[in-house]
Amino acid sequence: NHEVGKNFIEKIIDEDLAEGTYTKVVTRFPPEPNGYLHIGHAKSILLNYGLAEEYNGEFHLRFDDTNAKKENTEFVDSIVKDVEWLGAKWVGGVRYASNYFDQMYEAAKTLIQKGLAYVDDLNADEIRAYRGTLTEPGKNSPYRERSIEENLDLFERMKNDEFKDGEKVLRAKIDMSSPNINMRDPIIYRVAHVTHHNTGDKWCIYPMYDFAHPIEDAIEGITHSICTLEFEDHRQLYNWVVENLDYPHPPKQIEFAKLYLTNVVTGKRYIKKLVEDGVVDGWDDPRLVTIAALRRRGFTPESLKNFMKSTSVTKANSSVDYAQLEYFIRDDLKPKAPRLQAVLDKPIKVIIDNYPEGQVEYLDAPNNVENEELGSRKLPFERELYIEREDFMIEPPKKYYRLFPGNEVRLMNAYFVKCVSYETDDQGDVTVVHVTYDPETKSGSGFNGRKVKGTIHWVAAHHCVKAPVRLYEQLVDEEKGVYNEDGTMNINPNSLTVVDGYIEENIKNYKPGDAFQFVRKGYFNIDTKDSTQDHPVFNRICAMKSSFKL
């Protein structure tokens, strides 16, 4: 009974439910609190949460915090916030793998008692040398045949702080000649004198990921333990652990391909380096694709959910174009976001010669021509305006319908104006354009005496807000790819440009975090970190158009 359109994980779940392997689906998202979450994690969160929802099951949020060295509570807090923001609802509080350390310790003892684990005195280099290679089997450690009693005693003494880091490890006793190197007596516990963010100094031994993870899943009754492809070779060990510990309904590990975006730095390790090297201004720098950065940049949970739905869940690695992500934020904001007029960078002043000096008129302007529900606003209009530099040309090319000497255009939401003259500075750059307006042609008046081909936007020179607007390009060079041959990152020197924006004064009614379309210019928001009530700073979320089509 395979429904068309289901992904391979849904098909596995359908089969498991049909066969009665499980009666209820329980999934989890198990982040390591060693950095901020990124867009790839969002895929995992929404996949796991989506499956729990679809099958009326449970979704858990569990910190996989068994590697004390790299973890801290700043990361824990940011991860909880991000998962919440994405709308994934977990059942039963935030969980920590470290809360299961007692059970893991007992599980290790169970393996020792079964003759399936031993304490090894070889050091890290020796263990590596004994492990063998893909083509060569490994060799048994000389300590492999210790008695159960001796192993129990030594393991307890490891716990009781009698050994230094690296002096002894506990290893699973499996098969040193297994074709799967992960099965060649993997280390399951090691001595590490580090303070843990949750358990403090209670432990000086910590379980290894491959041993801890299946136990965490089994304790919580996880049914489908979804992870990414790099764990495929670890599945045999995962199964070995749950089988030998006799869990009644052992969880099942399923691997899928990571989400990669073209020309974007995903991967905690690389993002961390950009933060540490000061290439970006923190984990939430809007040029990054951490969830915190995407939120700050103006992406919405809906846009990320729709984007994820458009990417497939498969076992084949592939990259999704960044433009596809932008498509979904544009799609989400298009009907929702108010549209304002803003002139970005080096505007040209327009003087309406026949408009009374000192007069200000408030024109009715719809907030979003595609969504009447957003209502309208009053747009101040006066004798002096600003327009985009690119909307005026002294000698226009063919098919240029904007302002040029003698041409008439519509000022958006206002009147027709006709260019009568212009002024330039010593360099020949245009400083002022003189126009006349025709009061008959007011927007909304129904005037149809004549037509113009171009409509341009503008702001009133004395009724606008001047503010920095940040324009972003990818952090890494679009053409050359993310990495150089020597492994260094190929940073785009133009990833951030700050221009002076002139925004209609209605912007004062909005607050940090609000997003809008600046007509003809793209989607922008007010930065939540660097803005104050009187001094907004804007981020460009995305441009108006993209190359991506659904």
Range 46-74 burial, b when 16+ CB lie within 10 A, else e: bbbbbbbbebebbbbbbbbbbbbeebeee
CB 265 within 8 A of CB 208: no
295 interacts with ligand ATP by CB under 6 A: no
Distance of CA 404 to the CA centre of its chain: 44
111/284 Cα distance (integer angstroms): 44
Nearer to ligand ATP, 41 or 235 (CB): 41
266 interacts with ligand ATP by CB under 6 A: yes
Interface pick for ligand ATP out of 22, 25, 27, 31 (rule CB under 6 A): 31
CB of 15 to Mg ion, least distance (A): 28
Q: Which of 201, 285, 209, 281 is nearest to 241 (CA)?
A: 209
489 interacts with ligand ATP by CB under 6 A: no
CB of 434 to ligand ATP, least distance (A): 56
40 interacts with ligand ATP by CB under 6 A: yes
273/249 Cα distance (integer angstroms): 41
Nearer to Mg ion, 64 or 527 (CB): 64
Residue 3 tokens read as 């429904």
* Residues of this chain, 251-270, that bind Mg ion according to CB under 5 A: 268
Element (H, E) at 187: strand 187-191
Q: Which of 408, 450, 404, 420 is nearest to 352 (CA)?
A: 420
* Residues of this chain, 380-409, that bind ligand ATP according to CB under 6 A: none
CB of 323 to ligand ATP, least distance (A): 18
Spatial strand order in the sheet of 430-438: 455-456, 408-411, 416-424, 430-438, 348-352, 384-387, 459-460
Interface pick for ligand ATP out of 13, 119, 183, 259 (rule CB under 6 A): 259
Q: Which of 183, 187, 44 is nearest to 118 (CA)?
A: 187
CB of 107 to Mg ion, least distance (A): 21
Nearer to ligand ATP, 259 or 482 (CB): 259
CB 289 within 8 A of CB 42: no
536/195 Cα distance (integer angstroms): 42
Q: Which does residue 44 touch among ligand ATP, Mg ion, none (CB within 5 to 8 A, set by kind)?
A: ligand ATP
Q: Which listed range, 24-32, 124-132, 340-348, 483-491, lies at the site for Mg ion (CB under 5 A)?
A: 24-32
Q: How many degrees, rounded to 5, is the angle at CA 152 between CA 147 and CA 157? A: 125
Interface pick for ligand ATP out of 146, 168, 234, 258 (rule CB under 6 A): 258
394/159 Cα distance (integer angstroms): 82
Nearer to Mg ion, 36 or 203 (CB): 36
532/549 Cα distance (integer angstroms): 37
Interface pick for ligand ATP out of 190, 224, 234, 268 (rule CB under 6 A): 268
Q: Which does residue 227 touch among Mg ion, ligand ATP, none (CB within 5 to 8 A, set by kind)?
A: ligand ATP
Q: Which listed range, 237-245, 262-270, 353-361, 514-522, lies at the site for ligand ATP (CB under 6 A)?
A: 262-270
Residues lying near Mg ion in the complex (CB under 5 A)? 32, 268
Residues lying near ligand ATP in the complex (CB under 6 A)? 30-32, 40-41, 43-44, 227-228, 258-259, 266-269
